[in-house]
A = this chain, B = another copy of it.
Amino acid sequence: MSDVEKALTLREVLEVVEGLYPPSTAQSWDQVGLVTGDLDQPVRRIHLAVDPTLDVIREARDADADLLLTHHPLLLRGVHAVATTTAKGAAVTDLVVGDVALYVAHTNADVAPQGVCAALAEACGLDASEPLTWSEGQPLGRVGDLPEAEPLHVLVERLAGRLPATAGGVRVSGPPGAMVRRVALLGGAGDDLFDAVRSSGADVYVTADLRHHPALEAREEARGAVPYLVDAGHWASEQVWLPMAERALLDALGEDATKVDTHISTVRTDPWTFVVGASEGGMP
């Protein structure tokens, strides 16, 4: 980026972002869009991350970023104060003091052609896929067939190799050698789509953040057979979207792409640091 070039404004950059991920395609309960910043401020450096944590904001400020683009909302629940006495308040304060605009693309990013589910489908090895179900007029999740059937553990190992590493790794419910071909998937927490997964005829459901009761009830309903479950980790299953979003944004900026630098956060916001006693080989 040449210094003599006039910087883009936040208004100009967001027009492009919202062309890729229109806010009107977000679910009604969601909170997407601009959280901090001024539409007239210049944007020269763009930082991308899954979560707007304090460490991510620090990283963005250290990198002189003007815009932080995240998947998860900072203020999904409304706040009545932004004093530094709460972590959310401290995050807002850090952003405002650091002149970092925060912009959120959440459920609207899930459903876009260059969105979270598309990136996860690619990581699973699907060449083509269709919506798993619909909600408020938008496609939720994807389902598609692998080029050919393969053992469950092969699918999972390929996926794990394409996702960023986490302490907990990828958890699987099903026999490692069972052959699977039809894959349903939803990035992030997917425990309310089991009915759609069963209707889709999927052999395996790749999602994340599955708790004991929903997972066990889904396995009971399957009576031990398909669909098997893969919990890829909430953060990891969405982080794969960041490179795709970065490319999509630069493409969409066209000639203006030369006016901005983009960076993908290297902060791992999966909360887990280490595990004890996990079993790669599987349980009997």
Contacts and interface: CB of A to CB of B under 8 A. Distances in A.
A93 B96 contact: yes
Given A219-B271, A268-B283, A271-B216, A276 B170 contact: yes
A224 B142 CA distance: 36
Contacts of A101: 83
Interface in A196-235: 208-213, 215-221, 223-224, 229, 231, 234-235
A265 interface: no
Interface residues of A, number: 88
Interface in A89-130: 89, 91-93, 96-97, 101
Copies of this chain, count: 6
A275 interface: yes
A87 interface: yes
A176 interface: yes
Interface string A138-176: 000000000000000100110010000111111111111
Nearest to A93: B96
Nearest to A176: B274
A55 B223 CA distance: 9
A253 B82 CA distance: 26
A218 B224 CA distance: 35
Interface stretch (A1-9, A32-40, A243-251): A32-40
B274 A281 contact: yes
10 contacts: A73-B80, A82-B92, A91-B220, A153-B274, A167-B282, A174-B273, A211-B234, A274-B279, A274-B280, A275-B279
List the 3 shortest-distance A-B pairs measured between CB atoms, nearest first.
A78-B78, A274-B282, A169-B278
